[in-house]
Amino acid sequence: MRSLKAYLATSQALDIVLAVILAAAIVKLVDSVVIDIVTPLISHFFGAGRDMANYFIPLVPGTHSDMTYEEARKIGAVIGYGQFIIALVYFIIVATLVGLVVSGLRKEKNAG
């Protein structure tokens, strides 16, 4: 127990713990930005108000555009391009944030 407390008291362990907590908060924030702001805006301007998650191309008979993505998947194969767009938006936001953090850390390391 003492060795664990000693390990956690080191600055590296504390940095890791803080990074994990910050990462969890950033994930929640990015999730909210994409689901609550970006996706509804894209749906409003390009999809006649349909939820972005339900954009798909049916590949089998019996599926139609009035169905949800999950309903259509139960019937057969569909291309869920709405799901792909959501994942792409997540990736762009996270990659931008990671790039900014890494860039900032490099500048700090080079300055110090």
- pLDDT mean by block of 10 residues, the chain; 112 residues: 67 77 88 88 76 85 83 88 89 88 80 70
Q: Is 58 helix (H, G, I), strand (E, B) or coil?
A: strand
**32-15-89 Cα angle (round to 5):** 25
Q: The pTM is what?
A: 0.70
Q: pLDDT value at position 46?
A: 75
Q: pLDDT value at position 47?
A: 65
Report whether 51 contacts 43 (CB < 8 A). Answer: yes
Q: Is 10 helix (H, G, I), strand (E, B) or coil?
A: coil
Alpha helices in 1-112 (DSSP H): 2-9, 11-32, 39-46, 69-75, 81-111
CB neighbours of 17 closer than 8 A, spacing ≥ 6? 8
Q: pLDDT value at position 110?
A: 79
Q: pLDDT value at position 105?
A: 77
Q: Is 67 helix (H, G, I), strand (E, B) or coil?
A: coil
How far apart CA 53 and CA 83 sit, in angstroms, is: 5
What Å distances lie between residue 28 and 45, 70, 85, 93, CA to CA?
A: 25, 24, 18, 12
Between 81-111 and 39-46, two packed helices, what is the crossing angle to 10 degrees? 140
